[in-house]
Chains A and B, each alone.
Chain A
Amino acid sequence: MATNTQHFQKTSFLSFSRIGVIASHTFTQLVRMKVFYFLVVFVILLWAAKQIILPNQTGGDGSPEQELRLLKSTGFAAMNMFSMLLALSATALLIPKDIEDRTIYTILCKPVPRLDYLLGKLLGVLVLIFVSLVAMDLVLSFFLHQKASGMIALQTEQLVARGTPQEVINEQLAGLKAHGLTINIHFATIAIFLKAIVIASIALLISTFSSSTLFTLILTLIIIVIGLIQADAREYATMMAQFGEQNKLSNISLGVAIFFPDLQFLSIEDGVIDGRNVPMSIMLQISMVAILYFAIYVVLSWFAFRKKEF
């Protein structure tokens, strides 16, 4: 066919400014849904966890690390729950709602490539999760620092009163400091965010071909559960194989590993709760894996969405 087109503004395949417009709009949309109220609940929860004094601590002879562990595990559990819920529900809801309300017509009828629309929506959700996690990280850091420094001061006072040498005091406090506010807390927050990125991109992929929000939510939830337990299944299958028992489970777990994300691999919070250090190499590894999952799911979403009819 002859291309006797008149002057048309060429629309670039990918425009960061357009993606930014959609992302900031999605962010505002979610903020106005009052999702940040969760932060108030988070502050109350951590404040309550900070007040808890375990029975074996009252005499001051037990392991004070337990209380810090409790504070950290409460904080990370709440952060995980919030980011997972938001990544799942917000992403699963946004596109089907736009289709249902027909707002998608008015957007896609502007010079907006579908990839820009998808990325904008996804980034809007991710920015919201990021901002929330940063806020929660600050709250956790504040409470943890307060509790740990209080404990360190008390322990130092008790040990000095007993006439303990400085080297012994330093040695005893090192364990407590490792459970206090360290860079590992922030690394764990980053890992939670990486998990949220993967979950949100799975929800995005499913919402591009699903016709109902409920179906998207349920299917994404199933994938999350598979993602959280698949490492255990794989380990079990490997162990069975070592004993020469090649059963169906080995094959299934191998298949699952190919098609579903390993969310357990991205979880480093347990180690941080136990006061262990997170090497930079692990952070790099999990970041690469999360980005790879993100890229795969976004490309698949785009393939499903680019020819979708409304």
Chain B
Amino acid sequence: MSESSKMKSESKPAFAVEIRNLVKTYRSSFKRETFRAVDDVSLSIAAGEVYGLIGPNGSGKSTTMKALLGLVAPTSGICNVFGCDARRVDARSEIGFLPENPYFYKHQTAAETLKFYGKLCGIRGKELKNRVDELLDLVSLNHARNRRLNGYSKGMLQRVGLAQALIQNPKLLVLDEPTAGVDPIGSREIRDLIFRLKEDGVTIFLCSHLLEQVQEVCDRVGIIFEGQMVNEGTLEELTSIESQHELVIENADDSLLESITELVKQHSSSGAKLVSSGKPRSSLEKLFIETANSRIKNSKENK
């Protein structure tokens, strides 16, 4: 059958995602005014890499993603997915997409939703059943698999969204605000899932407002502002302050700290100075998760 036939491969593409000089212009209703949502954006993501695109609202992040998914046509420029033109339907067989705040058909259960998307991708029979079970386990929704989605919380819907994005085992996962509206525990689970997928070799392209999260999971980051890519690089390149160094010492007594301070003063002629010292703080997120986990453990023990 033609559907299952494979396209002839010429050579292995260098990048999972390649966007070159992407421009997307929108016209107003009466075509009097034009608005450039994406202005000459270029980026490339290597296979297996986690790439984060950050920027304020209306900066062109979602439009860039939509161009990559074939939901909008570029005014000019090129969008390729594993070397295939993103406008072609074929390219989508390797893409899983989680939109921001996804809504699904409320009349369906989680299992039915995944089956529906699986069938759209041509998966059938036992293979589909196993894949649905596997994904419901992965996103921890097996207990609610037969409940209709109209009774799901926002976080649960987000997890269904993630599961549907993964249904055909895509090589590229596009996530638009994957943790929007999700509580810190759910957010951490999604983060852990991203790490797991990365280990499995899945390329991930994500947009998020939660900069801390982007910093945690992404190999490379692009900053987009008013439709233009203003900065791009590895996290180390973008965030490290070349002229400063950080030491974290455990069990240091006061005399050791005084000695270190004194040593730095002795080198002040070379420009060295102590900028700050103190106890490192745990993040509020970490504190919340530790508290929640201990409450869950206690309630389980009491039962």
Contact = CB atoms under 8 A, between A and B. Distances in A.
Given A9-B4, A25-B116, A106 B161 contact: yes
B66 A310 contact: yes
Interface string A252-288: 0000000000000000000000000000000000000
A10 B3 contact: yes
A1 B120 CA distance: 30
Contacts, number: 132
A21 B118 CA distance: 10
Contacts of B11: 4
Interface in B1-29: 2-7, 9-13
B116 A8 contact: no
Contacts of A307: 73
B70 A108 contact: yes
Interface residues of B, number: 50
A111 interface: yes
Nearest to A12: B3
Interface stretch (B76-84, B137-145, B185-193, B210-218): B76-84
B179 interface: no
B288 interface: no
A7 B6 contact: yes
Contacts of B174: 109
Interface residues of A, number: 37
A171 interface: no
A7 B9 contact: yes
Contacts of A4: 10-13, 83
B93 A11 contact: yes
A3 B164 CA distance: 29
A5 B82 contact: yes
Interface in B97-138: 97, 99, 101-105, 107-108, 116-117, 119-122
A28 B93 contact: no
A11 B165 CA distance: 18
A27 to B, nearest CB: 11
A61 interface: no
B247 interface: no
A21 B82 contact: no
Contacts of A103: 102-105
A307 B78 CA distance: 17
B102 A106 contact: yes
A140 B89 CA distance: 47
B179 to A, nearest CB: 17
Nearest to B47: A6
B70 A101 contact: no
A110 interface: yes
A111 B90 contact: yes
Interface string A90-109: 00000000000111011111
A112 interface: yes
A29 B107 contact: yes
Contacts of B84: 3, 5-6, 8
A200 to B, nearest CB: 20
A227 B283 CA distance: 67
B117 A11 contact: no
Given A21-B119, A109-B97, 9 more contacts: A1-B85, A8-B90, A28-B108, A106-B99, A109-B92, A110-B92, A111-B120, A111-B122, A309-B73
Interface of A: 1-12, 15, 17-18, 21-22, 25, 28-29, 32-33, 101-103, 105-113, 307, 309-310
Interface of B: 2-7, 9-13, 66, 69-73, 78, 82-85, 89-97, 99, 101-105, 107-108, 116-117, 119-122, 161, 164-165, 168, 174
23 contacts: A1-B85, A4-B83, A5-B10, A6-B9, A7-B9, A8-B82, A9-B3, A11-B90, A11-B92, A15-B3, A29-B105, A33-B107, A103-B103, A105-B71, A105-B99, A105-B102, A106-B104, A106-B165, A108-B70, A108-B71, A109-B71, A111-B90, A310-B66
